[in-house]
Amino acid sequence: MSLSKAAPKTIYLKDYTPPAFTITHVDLVIELDEHVTKVSSSLKIKRQTDNGNLVYLDGEKLDLQSITLDGTLLDQQNYTLSSTGLTFAAPADEFTVEIVTLIKPQDNTELEGLYKSSGNFCTQCEAEGFRKITYYMDRPDVMARFTTKIVGDGTKYPVKLSNGNLMESGHLDDGRQYNLWVDPFPKPAYLFALVAGDLAVVEDHFVTQSGRQIKLQIFVEKGNEDKCDHAMTSLKKSMKWDEEKYGREYDLDIFMIVAVSDFNMGAMENKGLNVFNSKYVLASKETATDADFDGIESVIAHEYFHNWTGNRITCRDWFQLTLKEGLTVFRDQQFSADMNSAAVKRIEDVQRLRAAQFPEDAGPLAHPIQPQSYVEINNFYTATVYEKGAEVIRMAHTILGEENFRKGMDLYFERHDGQAVTTEEFIKALEDGSETDLSQFRNWYIQAGTPEISITDDYDEKSGSYTLRIRQDNPKAGKNAPPLHIPLKIGLLGSNGEDLIPGLDGSGTELINLKKEVEEISFHGLKERPTPSLFRGFSAPVRLRASPADDKLVTLFKNDTDLFNRWEAGQRLATQRLLQLITEKGANRLAEDFIGAFGDLLADASLEPAYKAITMSLPGEQFIGQQMSVVDVDGIHNARKEAIKTIGATYSDELMAIYEQHQNQDHNGDRSLKNMALLYLSGTEDPSILKMAREQYLTATNMTDRISALSRLVVTNHPARDECLEDFYNRWENDSLVIDKWFTLQATSSRDAALEDVSKLLGHPAFTYTNPNRVRSLIAAFASANPRHFHSRTGAGYQFLTDAIIKLNGINPQIAARLVSPLGQWRRYDDDRQTKMKDALKAILNTENISNDVYEMASKSLGDG
């Protein structure tokens, strides 16, 4: 038996073939141990196509002990072993194979497969982690019924969980304990989970629409029991919402969530046993911000919703990832919009899309929501597959309308329950259920790039006709790319801000289906030249080539009845003004129209506090950079700082009044508005305001207020900065989620010494490369949210990131690979920075034993330039 090291190989969608054999049943016995864990598996295998006689099982980093076929032990010459799998000839069309392997979860720092976190065993199998536990057909189109017997020391691991229902518990003769779990639903291996440890549990229950009582359990490290209320409430709300909105009822008798502190991403939807990053479970008002609370609500919902969109109906192969992710993100966005302010939620979702997905779609890592090839599938859990994928589902929902979309979804669930399907089958179900043709809409699945829209308009005073000429281009998709089916939601505003057209059901908004490269649409009988409000609610993930004229933006910013577009107009106006400050060197003031419009916003008493707060915020440095042909790192930072200062000084009385008025209200909207006022006021660097920030920090009763105040101080050199940072550390030293915030505050600070601060923090006793949250809190936060210092002219920021990636390559390749993308944006910067960023990518590519994950990201980022 020899192990051959496989070279990174590209996998193509066009090569998909169903496996000749499938697995129908799996019985696992997992004997947990501090040193060597033994995994015995018995697989019932069955032929499903005539394609050959060989059975291939994936397996990596496993110590194979034995293979038995229908009771006969296989000799080494009867199977082939490589570093990625095991091949043998099938003895019959149906047979049983028994395999014993040994693994060492305690040494697993990749956090994929079975590993240990804070002394507890846990798993992460999506996408291809199960093959690190035992040999298996580790592909989503192999769906089997699992039983899992977990054996272990009863004192160290009193809690032993897996998917499905607990059927049996007991003692073995040698004193060890076991639990036997049976999952009645066939599933792919990526949904397998195991958790074992000495955990505390918080329990509740939910009664389904058909009257079944479901036991709900949240497992946490001991001492955290009092931080689960919000997660539990969110879970119950999600269960109810999915019944009401989509008619989806939960299917097992028990639903479990486990919070672990070492986790590569946010959470994982394993059947009946969701494993979560503790960041998305644990919360108290003293330790978590309002944004954290919202994050928990949406991630709990997301994972729960996967039970139908992902688990009951899963993906045929990993190219179909958006089938479950885009759809489930759309569902969790709908849920959060229903639970909170829908307008604010939509704005936040679009902000996220523009911050992460637009640059990805414009850069070297651009791919369609259904990628055509990959080297490492973990690199394709991207903003494109998730966020743009959700926008695509949202467009289908807009095109079909609520009722028809639901009919399509009902048919999808009915037709494909228990199957592993493709995005094509999903679209077909939407079409058949709604009786709507979506042929052209399918292009969204195969085209990369953000479509660009150019618009000219014309008003004929005599006839009162208004005509829009709309052109779509997608340069990234290539010359011959067919046009997309784009839903355009549009309103027309009169000079007093009123809607001039009745729109759908009197909403003032009309839906137009753009299908051709150039379309002309006319409206008649208008008494004046209207101001168009385009892409209301951000009805399609597109970019407008030119912004509307300034006076139109002011009209929209003051009046648009579509709250998304009202916010959008303010953002566009602010962006224009900031760009002017940057490029027209003489302009050292913000234009009066913007200042005036900002004042009107502050004075508008009709707006919800949360909406007012988000509408007051200026576009971020990265967003402004995206609007420039060459990003002017320092110019952007300075202009933005200047703008905040001007607004803070111009409206100090109004802002102070807002601050005081919303000071003691126990509501998240009031807190955002108050802290937004504090941000502008602090921009003036008036010592009395910094004193006020210090006071807010010291007397805060919740984390939102405390951290908002500290953020204002951290960017200064005021003595209160160090005092409060130290106080914060001492107060929360034992709460790692809060200490993550402490790292992030310093990593994202724009103050001159930030890079030194960050480098020093690498040596802080609380810093570790093995905990993903900690790595994200310092290294990723710096690289993705501190443009001023990451792009420092000296190249020191790039060097800092490069060193970290090389180090992490050997510890946790998934986390290392995720850090590469900021360097992939090199084409957007000046020559000097371009050279330094490319050198950084080259240094990364030279890493000894480079992982496939990092290799794919760095080589694609470098491209051929």
**Residues tagged active-site:** 303
In terms of Cβ atoms closer than 10 Å to its own Cβ (0-12, 13-18, 19+), residue 710 is buried
Closest CB to ligand B3K among 265 and 724? 265
Q: Does 187 bind ligand B3K (CB under 6 A)?
A: no
Minimum CB separation of residue 325 from ligand B3K in Å reads 5
Among 33, 60, 110, 126, binds ligand B3K (CB under 6 A): 126
Q: Does 854 bind ligand B3K (CB under 6 A)?
A: no
Instruction: Restricting to residues 314-333, name those near Zn ion by CB under 5 A.
Output: 325, 328
Query: Considering the complex, what minimum distance in angstroms separates the CB of residue 284 from ligand B3K?
Result: 24
Strands 273-277 and 113-117: unpaired
Least distance (Å) from ligand B3K to the CB of residue 856?
A: 13
Q: Does 815 interact with ligand B3K (rule: CB under 6 A)?
A: no
Residues 196-235: x where in contact with ligand B3K by CB under 6 A, - otherwise, as a string: ----------------------------------------
Select from 22-30, 78-86, 263-271, 481-489 the region that touches ligand B3K (CB under 6 A): 263-271
Shortest approach of ligand B3K to residue 185 CB, angstroms?
Answer: 17
Q: CB of 391: closest distance to Zn ion in angstroms?
A: 15
* 235 vs 631 by CB, closer to ligand B3K: 235
Q: How far is the CB of 303 from ligand B3K (least distance, A)?
A: 5
Number of residues that bind ligand B3K (CB under 6 A): 12
CB of 324 to ligand B3K, least distance (A): 8
The residue from 110, 183, 221, 303 that contacts ligand B3K (CB under 6 A) is 303
268's contact among Zn ion, ligand B3K, none, with CB below 5 to 8 A by partner kind, is ligand B3K
Residue 504: Cβ within 10 Å count: 12
Q: Which residue has the tokens 């939509």?
A: 346
Of 120 and 328, nearer to Zn ion (C-beta) is: 328
Q: Does 127 bind ligand B3K (CB under 6 A)?
A: yes
CA distance 348 to 329: 13
Contact between 816 and ligand B3K per CB under 6 A: no
Q: Are 320 and 422 in contact (CB under 8 A)?
A: yes
Contact between 265 and ligand B3K per CB under 6 A: yes
- The strand pairing partners of 169, in sequence order, are 179
Considering only 302-310, 336-344, 495-503, 562-570, which stretch makes contact with ligand B3K by CB under 6 A? Answer: 302-310
DSSP 108: -
Nearer to Zn ion by Cβ, of 334 and 672: the residue is 334
* HSE-up (13 A, CA, CB side) for residue 506: 0
Binding mask 356-375 for ligand B3K (x = CB under 6 A): --------------------
Helix (H/G/I), strand (E/B), else coil: 409: helix
Whether the Cβ atoms of residue 398 and residue 487 lie closer than 8 Å to each other = yes
Cβ-contact 849, 808 below 8 angstroms: no
Under rule CB under 6 A, residue 381 binds ligand B3K:
yes
Cβ-Cβ contacts under 8 Å for 848 (sequence gap 6 or more): none
Q: Which stretch binds ligand B3K (CB under 6 A): 262-270, 595-603, 730-738, 805-813?
A: 262-270
238 binds ligand B3K, rule: CB under 6 A: no
**Shortest reach from residue 190's CB to ligand B3K, in Å:** 8
Range in contact with ligand B3K (rule: CB under 6 A) among 136-144, 298-306, 733-741, 775-783: 298-306
How many angstroms separate the first and last alpha carbons of the chain? 43
User: Interface with ligand B3K includes 392 (CB under 6 A)?
Assistant: no
* Locus of tokens 């193509």: 12
454 DSSP β-pair partners: 471
Question: Which residue is listed with tokens 């949210």?
Answer: 785
CB-based contacts of 244, cutoff 8 Å, min separation 6: none
Q: Does 302 bind ligand B3K (CB under 6 A)?
A: yes
Chosen from ligand B3K, Zn ion, none, partner binding at 227 (C-beta under 5 to 8 Å by type):
none
Q: Token pair of 334, please?
A: 């709908």
What is the C-alpha separation between 332 and 266, in angstroms, rounded? 14
Pick the closer one to ligand B3K by CB: 267 or 582. 267
DSSP string, 180-212: EEEEEEEE-GGG--EEEES-EEEEEEEE-TTS-
DSSP assignment string, 425-440: HHHHHHHHHHT---TG
What does the H/E/C string look like for 390-450? HHHHHHHHHHHCHHHHHHHHHHHHHHHCCCEECHHHHHHHHHHHHCCCCCHHHHHHHCCCC
Nearer to ligand B3K, 126 or 621 (CB): 126
d(C-alpha 261, C-alpha 282), whole Å: 10
- Closer of 269 and 317 to ligand B3K (Cβ): 269
Q: Contact between 269 and ligand B3K (CB under 6 A)?
A: yes
Determine the Cα–Cα distance for residues 513 and 505; give it in Å rounded to an integer: 17
The pair of structure tokens assigned to 723 is 């005092």
- Separation between Cα atoms, residue 25 and residue 637, nearest integer Å: 59
- CA–CA gap between residue 597 and residue 22 (Å, rounded): 64
> Token pair of 239, please?
């269960």
- Measured from the CB atom, the residue of 26 and 817 that comes closer to ligand B3K is 817
Return the residues of window 312-331 that contact ligand B3K according to CB under 6 A: 325
- Contact residues for Zn ion, defined by CB under 5 A: 325, 328
**Residues at the contact surface with ligand B3K, assessed by CB under 6 A:** 126-127, 265, 267-269, 302-303, 306, 325, 378, 381
